[in-house]
Amino acid sequence: MNGKTEKATMSLETTKEIYFMVKNYYQEAWQVKNEGKPVAWMGVGDPIEIFRAMDILPVFPENFSAACGAKQLTARSCEVAENEGFAHELCSYFRNTYGYMVNKELPTPPGGGMPAPDLLTLVLNSCKIRTKWWRIMEDYYRVPTFIMEAPNLPWTQKGYALNDHYLKYVVGQLEKLIEFLEDYTGKKLDFDRLKEMLTYTDQAAVLYEEILELRKAVPCPMGAEDMAGVITPTILLRGTQQAVTFYKKLVTELQQKVKKGQGVLPEEKFRIVVDNIPPWYTKGLYNYFHRYGGLCVAETYTSVFGWHCRMDPAKPLESIARACSINWLNISYEERRERFLKLVGDYQIDGAIFLANKGCKVYSGSNTFLANLLKKETGISSLVLEADQTDPRDYNDTQVKLRIDAFIEMLANQ
Amino acid sequence: MQAFDMPVQRKCQCECSGKKVAGYLCNFPKELVYAAGFLPFRLWGSPEDMREVDSYFPAFFCHFARSVFGLALRGEYTSLDALVTVNMDDTIYHLSNALKEAFRWPYCYLLNRPHDASTYGSFDFFLAELEAWKTSFEQAANKKITGYALSEAIALYNESRELLKQIYDLRSRFPAALSAVTVAEMVRASLTLPPQTVNACLRNIIGDVLRKNNIAVSEKKPRLHISGSIVGDHDLYQLIEDCGGIVVSDDLCQGARSFWYLVEETGNPLKDLARYYLEKMICPHMHTLGLLEKRLDFIMAFVERYRVDGVIFCLQKYCDCHQLDMPLLVRKLRGKGIPSLIIEIEGKIDKGQLGTRITAFLETIA
């Protein structure tokens, strides 16, 4: 690491609650564990409503690693994994979790970290690293494990029009997941309870859509420094009233700002889109654009990723299967093209930042395709910056900022 | 058999008398392609450094994937009549999409193969995928893929598999007659040339070696197994032999993993293929429960069959799935008393540095 990393400076009130939300979540997880209730480790975006409806607490190794990154704790934990033979170029979420899994001497993570799992579950819906990672955890913890797959979508089909055999395959596996959980807990899933949770999920999705709509305003009322954490309630608390309440509050705050014509910046000159997972250890990077009148107004990670899929409680498993299948990383370049160009138009983008996150090939693979597409279709320029999502050791803050300086200068001269 | 030079298509088209050629990636069920009247031609990439790819495909992807894109960029694949790929890992998914978007292909298709053979519905899903592809390709090729043609294709490729297995057995007995480079070229040919040509050639080679079975078995040299995905630069094999070792086996995806097991012929060829490509491939990109143990057993079976003294893990830099398996495999092999060396490759090998490491490793196991 060269140069210091920085925490983000938030401009909204509601988003300041997110830090405490995460901390409380892990503290509560320990409480649940101590009460003898089951804890399942799972992938972000997995169908947590099913688990909540069965009183199983979901905990997320990826979110845990992001939280460790934000607290600048990940350099040592990643080193532990590397010392055990895992390559430096592997996913830093994996390396961090592995480090904390095998080494109990590392600094205390936020909220005390993750209580040990009673179950491991995962939906493979893009990243093929996670499945190997989950098998490694299964080998270590020796707990019941269930991995299912929502296949990558080829270019012959779109997320909004899934082929029957894709839908059938995912729904069939969800039914097996429910059987697996019923066997473990010894009780039946209450479908009415699941439907109630999916209603909350759908309400949260509608509010999330409103947030995205409000960010289209010029000047923009919320930058990436605030938005990066806004997916947290979707990840941790989907299917709960708490998530709905958070998003309602955020919508209200944003509506007031938009009504007053109040943006993050007094003078907004450049509207920027960012691609890739935020570099959690230096989220303050987003604030750096402010000095030039630049604001990150949209991100593929939060705006078009698919965290906020609508749900039809009358068709619970089909809705969940669709939600599992259509995320940004699971769709073809053809569909990414559609989503990305629409995003760029809707948000009146002036420039794009692509983070080259070498540990996350599944996200970074389309960097060059999207950058070239943008230039060709709209004439908009891009900048590629090297930034891992959680491991700060290769991050060169000085160099990154020098490149941003030059990029903004170029945008100003266009 | 000689190494393939570029442009690859011209050569293979020449070999198969004007037959249409479908380039494929990974373990696409090549029997289906062949039964449609096309020559399935596995894309190999090139060990050459191709910096020009950086503008189209990120630099932190494995050299193999980048070089396939690079060859397409250089126009090496322009004469292909189709590109068919199978979704094995994130790199191949990206590469397939990037190739599809960047170049014009007469036909281009991505097939989904589940990554866990034991998942509920995985076989039915894969079968549905194969049927959907078959229908699509039949339309594009304007030719029906009959059950008879498919059975014939399976039989032909199964024969190649059996012959290659014999070659591996013979190499173990007569390593001086069958160098590692020669055997690697035979496997490559089996994945790129018409199976009849390959089978005839392999039968001749086997006959020749057996006739000259008075070739002295080499003096006692360390016998090595190569584990990994792709060895793009066959100079590596030469280097190992120059350093004093003998390569006697491998579990590479462009090596023994491509032919070690046969497609079982039960009378329903499409189901037979689905079962083979879903369940028989000990592919590190799968996560079927117990896969790692199966990989270990597969390696150990070679260790015993060919009296292996040491294992060289030859990993493509940035190949995540292999990198994730490696520490656990190394540990388990060590537990069984099998020494191993880990080398990371990106394109052309660095003979100087690598030679020193290989020599040191051979000294420890000699």
ipTM of the complex: 0.96
- Is residue A102 packed enough to be buried (19+ CB in 10 Å), middle (13-18) or exposed (0-12)? middle
User: How many other β-carbons are positioned within 10 Å of the β-carbon of residue B181?
Assistant: 16
Asked if B100 and A149 come within 8 Å (Cβ–Cβ), the reply is no
As given in the structure block, the two tokens for residue B77 are 């694949």
Q: Is A53 on the interface with B (CB under 8 A)?
A: no
The CA dihedral of B240, B243, B244, B249, to the nearest 10 degrees, is: -10
Quote the DSSP letter at residue B108. E
Tell me how far apart the alpha carbons of residues B196 and B158 are, in angstroms, rounded to a whole number.
11
Query: Minimal Cα–Cα distance from B304 to chain A, Å?
Result: 26
Tell me how far apart the alpha carbons of residues B320 and B50 are, in angstroms, rounded to a whole number.
21
Residues of A within 8 A of B289 (CB-CB) are 135, 145
Nearest-by-Cβ selection for B58 from A91, A148, A356? A356
Asked if B115 and A86 come within 8 Å (Cβ–Cβ), the reply is no
Q: A98: nearest CA in chain B?
A: B324
Q: Is A375 on the interface with B (CB under 8 A)?
A: no
Tell me how far apart the alpha carbons of residues A339 and A297 are, in angstroms, rounded to a whole number.
16
Query: Minimal Cα–Cα distance from A212 to chain B, Å?
Result: 28
* pLDDT one digit per residue (tens) for chain A, 414 residues: 555 678 889 999 999 999 999 989 999 999 999 999 999 999 999 999 999 999 999 999 999 999 999 998 999 999 999 999 999 999 999 999 999 999 999 999 988 999 999 999 999 999 999 999 999 999 999 999 999 999 999 999 998 899 999 999 999 999 999 999 999 999 999 999 999 999 999 999 999 999 999 999 999 999 999 999 999 999 999 999 999 999 999 999 999 999 999 999 999 999 999 999 999 999 999 999 999 999 999 999 999 998 889 999 999 999 999 999 999 999 999 999 999 999 999 999 999 999 999 999 999 999 999 999 999 999 999 999 999 999 999 999 999 999 999 999 999 998
Do residues A360 and A389 lie in contact, with contact meaning Cβ atoms separated by under 8 Å?
yes
Element (H, E) at A40: strand A39-41
Q: B325: nearest CA in chain A?
A: A132
Do residues A95 and A77 lie in contact, with contact meaning Cβ atoms separated by under 8 Å?
yes
Q: To the nearest whole number, what is the mean pLDDT of chain B?
A: 92
The pLDDT of residue B176: 87
Nearest-by-Cβ selection for B116 from A149, A358, A361? A149
Residues of A within 8 A of B101 (CB-CB) are 333-334, 337, 369
Query: Minimal Cα–Cα distance from A309 to chain B, Å?
Result: 23
Nearest-by-Cβ selection for A148 from B55, B102, B119? B119
Mutate to test the interface with A, among B84, B99, B120 (most CBs of A within 10 A): B120
Helix then strand count (H, E) for chain B reads 13, 8
Asked if B287 and A134 come within 8 Å (Cβ–Cβ), the reply is yes
Tell me how far apart the alpha carbons of residues A281 and A388 are, in angstroms, rounded to a whole number.
9
Residues of A within 8 A of B295 (CB-CB) are none
Residues of B within 8 A of A166 (CB-CB) are 125
Do residues B181 and B234 lie in contact, with contact meaning Cβ atoms separated by under 8 Å?
yes
The pLDDT of residue A175: 98
Q: Is A143 on the interface with B (CB under 8 A)?
A: no
3-state SS, A288-337, equals HHHHHCEEEEEEHHHHCCCCCCCCCCCCHHHHHHHHHHCCHHHCCHHHHH
Quote the DSSP letter at residue A121. E
Asked if A333 and B292 come within 8 Å (Cβ–Cβ), the reply is no
Residue with tokens 């590397």: A82
Q: Is A340 on the interface with B (CB under 8 A)?
A: no
- Is residue A374 packed enough to be buried (19+ CB in 10 Å), middle (13-18) or exposed (0-12)? buried
Tell me how far apart the alpha carbons of residues A251 and A213 are, in angstroms, rounded to a whole number.
10
Asked if B121 and A366 come within 8 Å (Cβ–Cβ), the reply is no
Nearest-by-Cβ selection for B125 from A86, A169, A334? A169
Q: B131: nearest CA in chain A?
A: A165
Do residues A325 and A162 lie in contact, with contact meaning Cβ atoms separated by under 8 Å?
yes
As given in the structure block, the two tokens for residue B112 are 């989904």
Residue with tokens 């947030």: A211
Residue with tokens 């590392």: A106
Q: Is B267 on the interface with A (CB under 8 A)?
A: no
* pLDDT one digit per residue (tens) for chain B, 366 residues: 333 334 444 555 555 667 899 999 999 999 999 999 999 999 999 999 999 999 999 999 999 999 999 999 999 999 999 999 999 999 999 999 999 999 999 999 999 999 999 999 999 999 999 999 999 999 999 999 999 999 999 999 999 999 999 999 999 999 889 999 999 999 999 999 999 999 999 999 999 999 886 665 656 899 999 999 999 999 999 999 999 999 999 999 999 999 999 999 999 999 999 999 999 988 999 999 999 999 999 999 999 999 999 999 999 999 999 999 999 999 999 999 999 999 999 999 999 999 999 999 999 998
As given in the structure block, the two tokens for residue A274 are 């960012």
Q: Look at the pTM and tell me if it is higher than 0.80.
A: yes
The pLDDT of residue B214: 60
Assign residue B121 a region: left if phi > 0, alpha if psi is -120 to 50, beta otherwise?
left
Give A250's contacts (C-beta < 8 A, 6+ positions apart): A12, A14, A15, A207, A211, A230
Surface of A (144-163) touching B: CB under 8 A: 145, 147-149, 151-152, 154-156, 163
Q: Is B127 on the interface with A (CB under 8 A)?
A: no
Query: Minimal Cα–Cα distance from B106 to chain A, Å?
Result: 15
| Nearest CA among A142, A145, A163 for reference residue A153 | A163
Nearest-by-Cβ selection for B112 from A84, A145, A151? A151
Asked if A129 and B324 come within 8 Å (Cβ–Cβ), the reply is yes
Give B336's contacts (C-beta < 8 A, 6+ positions apart): B300
Q: Is B260 on the interface with A (CB under 8 A)?
A: no
Nearest-by-Cβ selection for B327 from A85, A134, A152? A85
The pLDDT of residue B17: 63
Residues of B within 8 A of A120 (CB-CB) are none
Element (H, E) at B199: helix B195-211
Q: Is A98 on the interface with B (CB under 8 A)?
A: no
Mutate to test the interface with B, among A132, A337, A364 (most CBs of B within 10 A): A132
As given in the structure block, the two tokens for residue B326 are 């490696």
CA angle A133, A138, A144 (to 5 degrees): 135
Asked if B119 and A149 come within 8 Å (Cβ–Cβ), the reply is yes
Query: Minimal Cα–Cα distance from B96 to chain A, Å?
Result: 9
The pLDDT of residue B4: 38
Q: Is B94 on the interface with A (CB under 8 A)?
A: yes
Residues of B within 8 A of A86 (CB-CB) are 323-324, 327
Rg (CA), chain A: 21
- Distance from the Cα of residue A352 to its chain's centroid: 19
Residues of A within 8 A of B292 (CB-CB) are 135, 139
Exposure letters B73-100 (e unless 16+ CB within 10 A, then b): bbebbeebbbbbbbbbbbbbbbbbbbbb
Q: Is A102 on the interface with B (CB under 8 A)?
A: no
pLDDT tens, B120-161?
999 999 999 999 999 999 999 999 999 999 999 999 999 999
Residues of A within 8 A of B57 (CB-CB) are 365, 368
Give A378's contacts (C-beta < 8 A, 6+ positions apart): A341, A344, A345
Q: Is A242 on the interface with B (CB under 8 A)?
A: no
Q: Is A259 on the interface with B (CB under 8 A)?
A: no
